[in-house]
Amino acid sequence: MGALERAQALIEKADPSKTLPLCEIKEIEISREALFKIVDITEKFISLNSKVALVVDKTTILRQQLDVKKLVRELLASKFVVVSVELDDGYTELHASEDVISESAKQSKGVDGIITIGGGTITDIGKMTSVALGGIPHIAIQTAASVDGYTDNVSVILMKGVKRTVPSRWPEAVIADTTLISEAPSLMNRAGYGEINSMFTAPADWRLAALLGFEKKFHWGPIELLHGVGEGIEEWAPGLRTSEVESIEKLVNALAVRGIVTGVADTTACLSGIEHLISHMLDMNQAAMHKPVGQHGAQVGVGSVIAAAVWDLIFIKLSGEPIKLTSFPDKAALKSRVMRTFHNLDTTDALGGECWKDYEKKIDFWIENSDSIQSFLNDWKSHSSELRGLIKNPEEIVQGLLVSGSPINFYDLEPEINKLDAVWAVSNCHLMRNRFVGIDFLEFLGMWTESDSNWVFERATQAIEKVSATR
C-alpha cells in the first residue's frame, strides 16, 4: 500500500463521519526509480507541449553521480517546454521569504505548471508560486527526508523577519526517489526523524489550547492518524544511521502521512507546538545575524526533548491544590519583554512589533475568558491525565533520537547552537506568534521565570545523560 492509500485508509478509520477536510494530493510516488516517472506523472496534470517552470535553488543535487536538475530538465524537455528558474537570495541557504516567492512567480509567469526539485524550503516556495499564479499544478520532487512539508497545504514563510505558517495549496503530486534520498547528506535524513518527534509533544499543546478555548479546530481524528505514523518506528529507525534504503523508505512514507495529517487537520497545531516554535526562533536568530540556518527537523527533534521537559514542569507545578487566578498578565510588562526579546534581531523594532501584534491576542483571550480558564484549573486533575497520554517523556524521545543518529542537544546541531542562543530561543519561543502552547500556560500563571527555564534545561540534560549512560 502506497503512502497516499495508507493515509486515506487511516483517515477513513480515524474520521468515519468524514468531518475532516479532504486530502487533495492526487499522487505520491515513493520508489527507488521514482525520478524517472516524472514525465508520466507530469502529463497527468499538465497538457503535453505546455510550459513548465523548473524551480530550484543553487544547491547541487546528485543521484548516482548524475546531476538531478539537468536530468529532470532533459526528461521534461521531451514532452514540455521547460523554463528554468534558479533562485538565490544571497544567503548560504535559500529562505522562503516574500521577496523570493515574488521573484519565483515573476520568472514563472505564463507557465502552465510548476515543478520543484529540493527540500522543504523550495517546496514551500513552489506551493506559494502556484498560488500566486492562480493555482496552476505543482509537482514536488523531494530530494531528502528532512521534513514533512512536501505533502501538506501550508508553507512556512519568512514574513517581516518572522517565521509564519500560511495557507498555500496541496501539490498535485509528490515524487520521492529513495535511491536519490538515500544519497542525500545523512544529517538531512536524520533530521526527518527529528521532525517525527513533534507528534510526541505537540498534540498536548494542541489539546491544552482547545480545552482552554484558544483552539477551535481540535479534532481527535488527526491524533488517531498519528498513531499509524509511529507503527514499527523502533525497527527501522536504527537504519537511518547508515542511510539504509529500506529505512529511508519507511521514513519517507511516515513523513508523507504526517504532512497529510496537517492538511486534513486544517491546522499545523496538531504537529507544531513548543518544539517548532523553538526551531523557528533559532532560524529567525540565524537569519538576522546572517548565519547559516540549521536543519529544521533536527532542531525540532532537540526541541521535542525540551518540550517534553516543559510538560514535566507543568505537571509538577500543578500537582497540588487547584490554582486560583488572582491576577492577570501585565500587558505593559509583557510588551516591553517582547520588544526587548527581538530588538537585537531588528533594531528598528518592526520585528518586535510584528510579534507583539500576535502575542497580544493570547493575553487578551486569557483575560477575557478568565472564568472558563478558572473552571479548567478547578478540573485540572482529570485534564492532566488526558494530557499525559499525549506525551512521551524526555528519556523516550532521547532514546529514539540516539538510535537513529539524530542530534539530541543544541550542541549536536549543524551549525552548533551556543548556550546563550539556545536559552534565548527556549525562554522566549512563545512570544513570536498567536499559538497557545504549554509555556504560555506557565507564563500566564506566573510560573515561567528564568529559574523555570533553567529547570527545563536541566531536566533535558538529565534525560540525555541517563539514556546515554545506558548505551
Q: How much of the chain exceeds pLDDT 70, in percent? A: 100
333, burial (CB in 10 Å: exposed 0-12, middle 13-18, buried 19+): exposed
In the predicted structure, residue 1 carries a pLDDT above the cut 80: no
CA 362/CA 448 separation, integer angstroms = 16
In the predicted structure, residue 111 carries a pLDDT above the cut 80: yes
Question: How high is the pLDDT of residue 142?
Answer: 97
Strand partners for 54:
84, 115
> How much is the pTM?
0.93
Q: Which helix (H) or strand (E) holds 82?
A: strand 81-86
CA atoms within 13 A on the CB side of 262: 30
Q: How much of the chain exceeds pLDDT 90, in percent? A: 85
Rounded to an integer, the average pLDDT of 169-190 is 94
pLDDT tens column, 24-76:
999 999 999 999 999 999 999 999 999 999 999 999 999 999 999 999 999 99
Question: How high is the pLDDT of residue 255?
Answer: 93
Question: How high is the pLDDT of residue 8?
Answer: 87
In the predicted structure, residue 377 carries a pLDDT above the cut 80: yes
Question: How high is the pLDDT of residue 187?
Answer: 87
pLDDT tens column, 226-253:
877 777 888 999 999 988 999 999 999 9
Rounded to an integer, the average pLDDT of 104-109 is 98
All domains of the chain in start order, with CATH: 3-184 (3.40.50.1970), 197-217+267-469 (1.20.1090)
CA 126/CA 248 separation, integer angstroms = 24
Question: How high is the pLDDT of residue 471?
Answer: 75
Helix/strand/coil for 166: strand
Strand partners for 86:
56
Question: How high is the pLDDT of residue 161?
Answer: 84
Question: How high is the pLDDT of residue 91?
Answer: 84
Question: How high is the pLDDT of residue 359?
Answer: 97
pLDDT bracket for residue 156 (50, 70, 90): very high
As a whole number, the mean pLDDT across the chain is 94
DSSP string of 173-200, one letter each residue: EEEEEHHHHHTS-HHHHHHHHHHHGGGG
Rounded to an integer, the average pLDDT of 293-298 is 92
CA 154/CA 136 separation, integer angstroms = 16
Question: How high is the pLDDT of residue 12?
Answer: 87
Question: How high is the pLDDT of residue 160?
Answer: 85
Q: 6 versus 210: which is more confidently predicted?
A: 210
The candidate with the shortest Cα–Cα distance to 356, out of 431, 282, 410, is: 431
